[in-house]
Structure 1
Amino acid sequence: MHEEEYYEYAGFGQRFLAIIIDVIILGVCGSGVAMLFGGLFIGTAGGSAMLSDGEIGEGAMLVGVLLYLVFIFSMMVAGWLYFALQESSSKMATLGKRAVGIVVTDMEGNRISFARATGRYFGKMISGAIMYVGYIMAAFTEKKQALHDMIANSLVMKDH
């Protein structure tokens, strides 16, 4: 257990920069996955996708829609695992958070569990769904907690 007074809460700017870095990392990885799925689509349906009148066939459309749904689902799972696994790890931070020198802790400054990190991740959906007010709260609350931090009973601290 750590003494809370020893740590400083991470500011809104640090948290914002960290999420930008994490979104870029996930976007680059997602682009690679999208290219893979695009290649699968072309390889699976590419040769027979066009009908004689130049229209895309129903089979190709179905394959495209299914691959798109698999891609979306895989990106959701990848995002969840990216955040939850790293924030519950011994590093206590995603790559973006590490880059700006902040960590995610419980209310006593200890590492959070995978379950708590999962709750924090899905709490971000609520933070974003209310016009990002849940995120903006971090700039105004006493412990600089966003709504998803409050939901998960967690803190984001400067890494000393």
Structure 2
Amino acid sequence: MDNSVKYGGFWIRFAASLIDFVILFTCFYIPFLPIIFGEPPESITPVILIYAAEYIAGLAYFIIMPVTSWQGTIGKKLLGLKIVNENGRRLTIGKSILRYLSFTVSALILYIGFIMAGFTSRKQALHDMMVKTYVVKSRTSSVAEPISGQAAFK
């Protein structure tokens, strides 16, 4: 990676994570709250199926989104970030799976693995270091690019 690359630091990555949390919570948890907290079902099977569906959807979100043309989650896209490999290219599905699995290590050590992104020269969290990935700024201007068909603020 060349020196002109601007890496996404801790706070912008944290903000992207909050956006992702709101999206996932809204899409996958709120619709099921009446089922989960309502009258107990006659069988535990529906609750297990709901939790399994939520887990698989979250797993797919954090594994598949980085290998799309967006190169990151919706939160990262909205904040002008993308995830790249050591050559500055899009992740393969295998590398994306490894990155997701390595989140566990970053979390298990009291989330210090995530906080490391604020202190390393290339703004890498522990899971990024483990699989040789980087979160970079995909917008070079200081003003966010407008979404296609919308006017930019001046």
Q: Give the shorter-chain TM-score range.
A: 0.7 to 0.9
> Distance between the aligned counterparts of 1:74 and 1:114, measured in 2?
20
- Structure 1 or 2, whichever has the larger Rg, is 1
The one-letter amino acid of 2:63's match is: A
Shifted more, 83-92 versus 69-78: the winner is: 69-78
CA distance, structure 1, for counterparts of residue 22 and residue 137 of structure 2:
22
The one-character-per-residue Cα deviations of 1:81-100 (angstroms, maximum 9, x if unpaired) are 11211111111121100111
TM-score (norm 2): 0.80
Aligned length: 139
1:105 matched residue in structure 2: 84
Cross-structure match for 1:38: 35
Q: 1:33 to 1:13 in 2, by over 3 A?
A: same
Equivalent runs, 1:2-17 vs 2, <5 Å: 3-17=1-15
Instruction: Tell me how far 1:69 sits from its aligned partner.
Output: 2.1
- Per-residue deviation, 1:20: 0.3
**Shift of residue 66, structure 1, vs aligned partner:** 2.4
- Calculate the aligned-residue CA RMSD, in Å: 2.2
Match of residue 128, structure 2, among 149, 155, 159: 149
Q: Alignment identity in percent?
A: 31
Secondary structure in 2 matching 1:85: helix
Structure 1 unmatched ranges of 5 or more:
47-55
Runs of 4+ in 1 over 3 A off after TM superposition: none
Cα separation, 2, equivalents of 1:25 and 1:147: 25
For residue 26 of structure 1, what is the aligned residue in structure 2? 24
How far is the alpha carbon of 1:32 from its aligned partner? Answer: 4.4
Asked if residue 136 in structure 1 is aligned to residue 136 in structure 2, the reply is no
Q: 1:12: Cα distance to partner?
A: 0.8
